[in-house]
Copies of this chain bind each other. A is one copy, B any other.
């Protein structure tokens, strides 16, 4: 199992002013936590509770269909192109980046064991898309378009462009190169898929986009490039079982949610840095940023009180960002709780040869990069401790599908529990929806004419100091 070292958030290490007495806090909060975990598990099948993500480890039929389709298309495509944005891209990308060989898309087909290259198109930058279309042979590309409603402007615009080109190259056969992940029955992409005759997978109801990584949204791209999704499912199940424990002393998601909550509400350390000491885990931080930011960044709590809930997730990568952000974390504002992720055993061990005898580099000879990585992580931790900056370390025994699933499911549960501690709805995103509506209006979608006029007026208002 993954485990968490809380030493450096403890008052015995960083002092009472900034540290927590975890034993006392856990005792004090045990009943509340027990209640939260019971309620989450009690409500998980309730319609409209948005807790269906808790069931995604048990959907054997879906996993079977995903594997069946992946086996069917095995060897037929050189590329997988995922069209999706936010939760429709971040989870699978993080898994792929962690679990595929580094520089995957540059490897030969043999080096990829015949699995396709994979591209996630999560922006609409015309220069980027033009470049991508020059690199991809669409005939040999499987396009996985992902949108629950089919209203996702970016994804649908991408798909309209790609579908047009695919069809121009392949004629009616183009549909074999498309697989849609969308709503079960309603929604525009479902209608399009039915009319055009695409293979489809279902985005389940009552799962917020940022919690869909273990639905076909995430599992299908993973399976298409050869990630062992049975191992993913195993990881979820084991972690889910552990997190059903209502005793905070035995539940790391509850512990970590409480640590973050108390660091915010009692110690003012409300920003959560996610800093994996591993290049392969770097996109874990991107996925976590959406999860934490959209779930917890709410104007009002459930009772309508204005809270402007402030936890801000921030990405860093070790050791790289020791040369970028650590200076600020050590000495800057006392507003951050730093989450390290450390890998206990890398797949490779690389020795630094004894080739230079100059004092200042000679000590490196004969050591390994693995030792150096560990020493740097230790050095950073101790420095933060010297400056009394709270930090904790999530330990991953290895980077594999099983532990990645444990980690992601744990972070999802931690987020849900944090939402309960803050008494907010962790599963909506009202103001992100508002931006989307403004986009519809500005782009001339039907029914938004009035709003458009109003918006254009607003956009014309510039202060006299607009451009100086």
Contacts and interface: CB of A to CB of B under 8 A. Distances in A.
Q: How large is the interface on A (under 10, 10 to 19, 20 to 34, 35 or more residues)?
A: 35 or more
Contacts of A106: 105-106, 135
Contact of A324 (B90, B191, B270): B90
A101 interface: yes
A159 to B, nearest CB: 9
Contacts of A373: 124-126
B327 A466 contact: no
A28 interface: no
A65 to B, nearest CB: 26
Interface in A75-106: 85-87, 90, 101-103, 105-106
Contacts of A352: 157, 160-161
Given A6-B467, A380-B438, 16 more contacts: A6-B468, A87-B323, A124-B369, A127-B346, A127-B348, A150-B361, A157-B369, A161-B352, A163-B355, A293-B332, A296-B332, A308-B334, A311-B332, A311-B333, A363-B446, A382-B438
Contacts of A348: 126-127, 129-130
Given A135-B106, A157-B352, A361-B156, A435 B380 contact: yes
A287 to B, nearest CB: 9
Interface string A392-412: 000000010000000000000
A125 B361 contact: no
B432 A350 contact: no
Contacts of A331: 297-299, 308-309, 430-431
Nearest to A210: B324
A445 B352 CA distance: 14
B102 A132 contact: yes
A170 interface: no
Given A129-B369, A130-B350, A378-B459, A360 B310 contact: no
A322 B252 contact: no
11 contacts: A127-B279, A127-B346, A129-B369, A157-B369, A160-B356, A163-B355, A188-B361, A271-B312, A290-B323, A310-B335, A312-B335
Contacts of A132: 102-103
Contacts of A371: 443
Interface in A97-119: 101-103, 105-107, 111
A297 B389 CA distance: 14
A171 interface: no
Interface in A419-468: 429-432, 434-436, 438-446, 455, 458-459, 461-468
A127 B279 CA distance: 8
A30 interface: no
A106 B103 CA distance: 10
A269 interface: no
Contacts of A356: 156, 160, 188, 192
Q: Which of A6, A150, A356, A361 has the most CB of B within 10 A?
A: A361
A440 to B, nearest CB: 7
Interface stretch (A7-15, A52-60, A221-229, A230-238): A7-15
Interface stretch (A31-39, A66-74, A175-183, A313-321): A313-321
